[in-house]
Structure 1
Amino acid sequence: MIAPLIHRITTLDLPVRPWPWPFAGERRAEIDAHFADKQREKPKIWNGRVLLGRNPQFLGEHFGADYFETDFASFLAWRDWRFADIGVFNGFGMGALRSVDGAFVMGEMAQHTSNAGRIYFPSGTPDLDDITGGAVDIASSVAREVEEETGLTSLDYRAEPHWDCVFAGSTIAMVKVLHVDLPGEALRGRIEANLIRQSQPELAAIHLVRRASDLTAAMPRFVTAFVESQFAG
């Protein structure tokens, strides 16, 4: 992974266009075998449809890219095989929940997920439900992921007007800071109470990050780079 670069962005233009991904076609048998192995390890994962990006462009405060539809099995193989096609990226939104006393709130992924043990903000690779008017709607994707993972809705937070796009080569995280009018411990308690009510929550634990020393190796580099930039500011 290249050293992350952070761009402050105010507009996103992410049209979805039909495109036959050569990697998914040419390595189909290997991809299917890889996914079968992963399903034996984690039976809860399923081969749904996801959206990946290509042709990214940063122009001032504007970010644009083309998105295309593929299957989760191809995405998983691409990711696990060290991003086998460098012309494609995983571009997704993240809801950076921040408490009134300055703590960032992150979730630890549960063991049944494909990212077990990883710690980051509510997020997810876009899927077909995130398409609005023929384009990927990252704001709606973030709202949906935050609600699914934490139980918080748009009534519970105030979103910053801009995005912090963390560019790390094959990963582009579009981060939106979401301010919650609760202290960190109270916010964590509210999310934990919501997790208890779920039959199979995506998150296994909630972590508070108040300073750079709270960052850990379980957090992806694009997440820690964003948090470091916020504390430095």
Structure 2
Amino acid sequence: MTEVVIHRVTTLDLKVEPWDWPFAQERRDDIAAHFAERQREKPGLWNGRILLGRDARFESGQFSARYFETDFASLLAWRDWGFPDRTAFNGFGMGALRSADGAFVLGEMGAHTANAGRLYFPAGTPDLDDVDGNTLDLAANVAREVEEETGLTPADYRASAHWDCVVTGASIALMRVLDAAQTGEVLQRRIEAHLAAQDEPELAGVRLVRCRADLTAAMPRFVTAFLETQFSAGEPSS
């Protein structure tokens, strides 16, 4: 099992600056061929510009890192090939939506996505739309992804003051608990109605998780590790 380390922080210092990623430069032809193959399998994949991180540091309640621009094809190949270059990491925010009765709300990724069938909190790889000046605004990224995937806006929940940074291999998932005023079943119906109104929603369905027994192999390790800490602390309970 992948080793997991979780750091709780209250501030983020994420700078965006130009950098040529050696992996993306040296494996350009292989990456292009790999992405073409993946596109044949899933025609909806799009090779947009995204942000990855490097030089991650946790110190005195702060997470700091430098982010750089690359393309989704490079990220996908790097992931599919087992993260061969550890000079970079995939650092992304996740909105850990929690209902008023203690259920965490996860979405099942649609069949047309690169992570089909997996269960995640609302999230998305940071991109240039999340940059303010030379700083990555991860709070804005999470709010945008939550709204796109669930239809919920910041008026529908209270965002925690801290982030739980779940480090697993070459990934750092920055979890922010979002406490909603509605019950899990109400949120589930509301999100499902939002999905039904879309032509090609990113999510295929909604799953409520209330206790350890609800954890499944469809959840990435960074999701189950975070949820295990919540359940161990007695929040939430079934």
Q: TM-score, normalised by structure 1?
A: 0.99
Return the offset for 1:2.
3.6
CA distance in 2, matches of 1:14, 1:169: 19
Q: Deviations for 1:169-228, whole angstroms, at most 9, x for unmatched residues?
A: 200011100001111111100000100001110000100000011000000000000001
Please report the RMSD computed on the Cα atoms of aligned residues, expressed in angstroms. 0.8
One-letter amino acid matched to 2:72:
F
SS in 2 for 1:19: coil
1:93 aligned onto 2:99: no
CA distance in 2, matches of 1:7, 1:47: 31
Return the offset for 1:86.
1.2
One-letter amino acid matched to 1:129:
D
One-letter amino acid matched to 1:39:
Q
SS in 2 for 1:188: helix
Q: Deviations for 1:107-154, whole angstroms, at most 9, x for unmatched residues?
A: 000000011011010001101101012111100000000000000000
1:227 aligned onto 2:227: yes
Alignment of 1:107-122 (within 5 A): 107-122=107-122
Q: Deviations for 1:3-56, whole angstroms, at most 9, x for unmatched residues?
A: 111111001011011101111111111000000000101111111000000010
1:193 aligned onto 2:203: no
One-letter amino acid matched to 1:138:
L
Alignment of 1:2-17 (within 5 A): 2-17=2-17
- Structure 1: which 5+ runs fail to align? none
CA distance in 1, matches of 2:192, 2:4: 31
SS in 1 for 2:93: strand
Percent identity between the two aligned chains? 65
Name 1:211's counterpart in structure 2. 211
SS in 2 for 1:116: coil
- Cα distance change on mapping 1:55 and 1:2 into 2, 3 Å: farther
CA distance in 1, matches of 2:26, 2:87: 15
1:73 aligned onto 2:79: no
Q: TM-score, normalised by structure 2?
A: 0.96
- Cα distance change on mapping 1:163 and 1:132 into 2, 3 Å: same
**How many aligned positions are there?**
233
